[in-house]
Amino acid sequence: MLREVEVRGRHESARRLRSTIGSVFRYAVATARAEADPTLALKGALIKPTVTPRAAVTDPKALGALLRAIDSFDGQPSTQAALKLMALLFPRPGELRAAEWTEFDFDTNVWSIPATRTKMRRPHRVPLPAQSIAILKELRQITGPGVILFPGIRDEMRPISDNTLNAALRRLGYTKDEATAHGFRATASTLMNESGVWHPDAIERQLAHVENNDVRRAYARGEHWDERVRMMQWWADYLDTLKSTSDKILASDISIARRGQRR
């Protein structure tokens, strides 16, 4: 059965299918329904999928141009708002597409993503900078009466599709090798780490990444919440700077940010 999936070129699907089948058999073993997990013998037998990094804009000047292009987007206002929020908050695209209004607390300025919609199946909180609050309040005038922030055109109870945001980027003139919706995560990670302003663990927590090293994970349990609140506002202000700088990004921008962080 796995070979049938593999020969169609769906190498990652075959790998995940083997893992899922293995989970079923391990449960069967634990409940005395089976004697062994046959998928263990297939470990390494399937073609290893080729991982292609999603395209991301990591040059500050190019990012400023992309942000200005998004500001000029003439498609659906909700799609434009989604692109702006992807740049500001850099969640996983699926987490944003299916976001519901009840997840947003405008008193504390926090977006609480439920565990059922996160990749790691654990709740994730996102501090909302002032710029994102303004976008959300404007969007609420359009889609606020409904349940979800970004309803589809044909069915307001279903969110926009996986391809909507990437299609919007193509409409702006960016190819799939230049920019993707998921790439905003790499953009934020790269530029925040390069700034030297923020602790790498705070950046990783904001990206909702889980430490792979068991020992390090045991010592890295803190959420770095206060730092993340400051970091997200700094990031939003930094994007505003990039967007308003058409020729070059001054080196003093980062030093000013560092002084602000120390304060």
Annotated active-site residue in 117, 182, 205, 228: 182
d(CA 184, CA 168): 14
The verdict on whether 92 is a catalytic residue reads: yes
Annotated active-site residue in 18, 92, 205, 228: 92
Annotated active-site residue in 43, 216, 217, 219: 219
227 CB-near residues (< 8 Å, 6+ apart): 198, 199, 202
d(CA 117, CA 105): 18
The verdict on whether 209 is a catalytic residue reads: yes
Annotated active-site residue in 119, 122, 217, 259: 119
| Among candidate residues 212, 213, 194, 192, the one with its CA nearest the CA of residue 203 | 192
The verdict on whether 182 is a catalytic residue reads: yes
Annotated active-site residue in 11, 170, 209, 230: 209
Annotated active-site residue in 18, 84, 117, 185: 185
The verdict on whether 185 is a catalytic residue reads: yes
Q: Bridge-partner residues for 135, per DSSP?
A: none
d(CA 182, CA 175): 14
The verdict on whether 119 is a catalytic residue reads: yes
Point out the residues that are catalytic.
Answer: 92, 119, 182, 185, 209, 219
